[in-house]
């Protein structure tokens, strides 16, 4: 006797399986922990609503200042700050590149011997672990107020950024080209010059332009701790409650960042 | 009849003379610009202070050592505040950045002509201004404290998260979207079932990466009055208590290293 085939019963509802955290227990633990943290964290935020309410009127004045910026009445201060920021950006980027190229080569495992490699990696780690603002505080204390301390800060920060990425790029180089040049009897310098340099040059130009962009943005910040530049102008404008001048400074910063970003992406496309 | 062999140049050159000349001109302009900028920048530099710097550095180093180890008991609460600023600020940033990213991505935006430029403008404005400057503004507007820090971190995070997220949305697999749409799904259902599962790993990666950056940035927001470790740093700096400053630097460094480790682990697990 043949048995009647039983139709397999399909569920009538489908529940989407989770993409991440597929383990149900861990999912619950992590969600619960997140909720507990959120409650604890929100409790530490003390909000003086009256102060916020008073501030709304100021915030509105700031928005108005941003929409109708005043470029003229503080133009001399803005111009001086802008010049400091721009010159600081250019000089610190150039100096940073000049120092970070040898360090980057030294930090590439396929070119440098072990002691040089470790020393260069150490320099990169030190430069990357502290923020620009903290370095600026120290350098202002040593070198006095003004753009020179800012120049040193940005150059120092550039080293960590550029050497690390350059070293990674050199390590990713095509080995066969290096071997081909070495097979002709080239010395170490000649290998660097004829096998590595042509391979990393487009990337180095791209990274340098990207760093130029970052250095300008940072130059607007380190002025707050006294290292010169347009940040100092902005700080003064806000301290004086001159929101229309502050709005003008912010608009100038955004415009320059946009110009640098677009022109550098254009140059990068042209180089690569 | 003999065939005249073409005359080969006696030495090989990589570039034509014109290219060489152009290159030299380019380098010349770069050097000239740098020298000019150097002159303008250092017009008001007092070189006596600069030559004095090694002595100053030795002096500061001397005062920093040994760090005031006991001072760490005053730092636990600011440290907790710093972490809260970074975390809550990142959450605030995510809440605003996700809709902005969907409005900015070409394949999900309701209108490429009106809505997309607006979303891109929000992203650019948020990205161009550093969180310290946002904090400076917000402290002036809503008063000093944690709230100003959280909002500053949030506003700065919008641009970063939204930019990376909208690029991820633009790179999704269109076939899955089409498949879900073919079942008769509405616009919201297409986003929920076809787009979101594809960008979820990228989303978590970006968020944790930004959280890591935010921990770094929130350590110094207190310099302008926005709460956290920076307030202690400012107080110690203004009283020239360099051994306390050294202790604060150690705490900041430790926090940054731990947050970087956490973020690397989470990204490894997610991606």
Structure confidence by residue, pLDDT tens digits, A149-186: 999 999 999 999 999 999 999 988 888 988 899 899 98
The dihedral region occupied by B144, where left means phi > 0, alpha psi between -120 and 50, and beta the remainder, is beta
Looking at the complex, does the CB of residue B271 fall below 8 Å from at least one CB of chain A? no
> Which residues contact residue B153 at a Cβ distance below 8 angstroms, ignoring those fewer than 6 apart?
B85, B86, B88, B89, B90, B92, B93, B131, B134, B214, B217, B218, B221
Whether residue B254 lies inside any domain: the answer is yes
Whether residue B150 lies inside any domain: the answer is yes
Residue A104: what pLDDT? 92
Residue A128: what pLDDT? 83
Domain tally, chain B? 1
Q: What is the mean predicted confidence (pLDDT) over A114-133?
A: 88
Whether residue B6 lies inside any domain: the answer is no
Residue A111: what pLDDT? 86
Taking Cα atoms as reference points, which of B41, B67, B78, B49 lies closest to residue B226?
B78
CATH number at residue B235: 1.10.3720.10
Domain tally, chain A? 1
pTM, to two decimals? 0.82
Whether residue B31 lies inside any domain: the answer is no
Q: What is the mean predicted confidence (pLDDT) over B227-249?
A: 88
The SS3 of residue A268 is helix
* Structure token digits, residue A79: 């111009």
Whether residue B41 lies inside any domain: the answer is no
Residue B17 has pLDDT above 80, yes or no: yes
Residue A3: what pLDDT? 58
Whether residue A46 lies inside any domain: the answer is no
CA dihedral A8, A12, A15, A17 (to 10 degrees): 10
Residue B3: what pLDDT? 66
Residue B161: what pLDDT? 95
CB-CB neighbors (< 8 A) of A20 in chain B: 200-201, 204, 270
The SS3 of residue B245 is helix
ipTM of the complex: 0.79
Nearest to A51 among B127, B142, B216 (CB): B142
**Residues spanned by the domain of A76:** 64-271
Nearest to B197 among A19, A58, A62 (CB): A19
Residue A5: what pLDDT? 62
Gap from A221 CA to chain B (nearest CA, Å)? 7
Whether residue B123 lies inside any domain: the answer is yes
Whether residue A114 lies inside any domain: the answer is yes
**Residues spanned by the domain of B260:** 74-270
CATH number at residue A195: 1.10.3720.10
pLDDT digits (tens, 9 = 90+) for B41-67: 888 777 877 788 888 888 888 888 888
DSSP A65-105: HHHS---STTHHHHHHHHHHHHHHHHHHHHHHHHHHHHHHH
Residue A245: what pLDDT? 87
pLDDT digits (tens, 9 = 90+) for B124-165: 888 888 888 889 888 888 888 888 999 999 999 999 999 999
Whether residue B56 lies inside any domain: the answer is no
Whether residue A58 lies inside any domain: the answer is no
User: Residue A11's pLDDT band (boundaries 50, 70, 90)?
Assistant: confident
Pick the more confident residue, A254 or B7.
Answer: A254
How high is the mean pLDDT of chain A? 86
Residue A42 has pLDDT above 60, yes or no: yes
Residue A234 has pLDDT above 70, yes or no: yes
Whether residue A23 lies inside any domain: the answer is no
CB-CB neighbors (< 8 A) of B50 in chain A: 143-144, 148
Whether residue B221 lies inside any domain: the answer is yes
Across A22-26, A80-84, A154-158, B191-195, least confident range: A22-26
- Cα separation, A37 vs A29, whole angstroms: 12
């Amino acid at each position: 006797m043949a048995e009647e085939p039983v139709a397999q019963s399909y569920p009538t509802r489908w529940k989407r399986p989770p993409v991440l955290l597929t383990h149900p227990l861990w999912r619950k633990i992590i969600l619960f922990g997140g909720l507990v943290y959120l409650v604890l964290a929100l409790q530490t935020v003390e909000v003086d609503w009256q102060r916020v309410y008073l501030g709304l009127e100021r915030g509105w004045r700031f928005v108005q200042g941003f929409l109708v910026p005043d470029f003229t009445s503080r133009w001399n201060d803005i111009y001086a700050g802008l010049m400091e920021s721009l010159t600081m950006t250019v000089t610190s980027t150039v100096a940073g590149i000049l120092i970070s190229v040898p360090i980057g080569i030294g930090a590439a495992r396929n070119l440098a011997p072990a002691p040089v490699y470790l020393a260069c990696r150490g320099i990169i780690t030190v430069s990357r672990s502290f923020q620009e603002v903290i370095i600026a505080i120290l350098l202002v204390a040593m070198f006095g107020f003004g753009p020179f301390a800012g120049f040193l800060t940005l150059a120092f920060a550039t080293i960590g950024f550029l050497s690390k990425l350059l070293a990674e790029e050199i390590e990713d180089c095509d080995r066969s080209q290096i071997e081909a040049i070495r097979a002709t009897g080239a010395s170490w310098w000649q290998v660097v010059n004829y096998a590595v340099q042509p391979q990393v040059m487009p990337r180095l130009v791209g990274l340098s332009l990207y760093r130029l962009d970052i250095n300008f943005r940072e130059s607007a910040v380190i002025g707050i701790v006294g290292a010169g530049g347009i940040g100092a102008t902005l700080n003064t404008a806000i301290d004086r409650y001159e929101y229309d001048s502050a709005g003008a400074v912010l608009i100038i910063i955004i415009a320059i960042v946009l110009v640098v970003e677009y022109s550098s992406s254009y140059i990068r496309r042209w180089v690569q | 009849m003999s065939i005249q062999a073409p005359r080969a140049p006696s030495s090989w050159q990589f570039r034509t003379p014109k290219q060489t000349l152009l290159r030299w001109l380019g380098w010349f302009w770069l050097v000239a610009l740098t020298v000019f900028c150097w002159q303008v920048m250092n017009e008001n530099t007092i070189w006596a202070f600069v030559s004095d710097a090694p002595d100053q550095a030795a002096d500061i180093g001397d005062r920093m050592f040994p760090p005031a180890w006991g001072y760490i008991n005053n730092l636990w609460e600011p440290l907790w505040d710093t972490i809260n600023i970074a975390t809550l600020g990142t959450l605030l940033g995510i809440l605003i950045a996700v809709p902005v990213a969907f409005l900015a991505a070409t394949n999900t935006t309701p209108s490429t002509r009106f809505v997309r430029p607006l979303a891109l403008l929000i992203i650019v404005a948020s990205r161009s201004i550093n969180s310290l400057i946002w904090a400076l503004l917000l402290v002036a507007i809503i008063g000093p404290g944690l709230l100003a820090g959280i909002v500053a971190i949030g506003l700065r995070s919008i641009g970063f998260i939204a930019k990376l997220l909208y690029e991820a949305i633009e790179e999704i697999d269109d076939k899955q979207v089409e498949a879900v749409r073919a079942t008769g799904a509405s616009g919201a259902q297409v986003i929920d079932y076809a787009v979101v599962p594809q960008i979820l790993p990228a989303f978590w990666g970006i968020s944790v990466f930004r959280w890591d950056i935010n921990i770094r940035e929130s350590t110094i927001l207190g310099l302008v009055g926005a709460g956290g470790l920076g307030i202690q740093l400012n107080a110690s700096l203004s009283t020239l208590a360099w051994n306390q400053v050294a202790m604060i630097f150690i705490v900041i460094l430790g926090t940054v290293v731990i947050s970087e480790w956490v973020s690397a682990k989470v990204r490894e697990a997610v991606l």
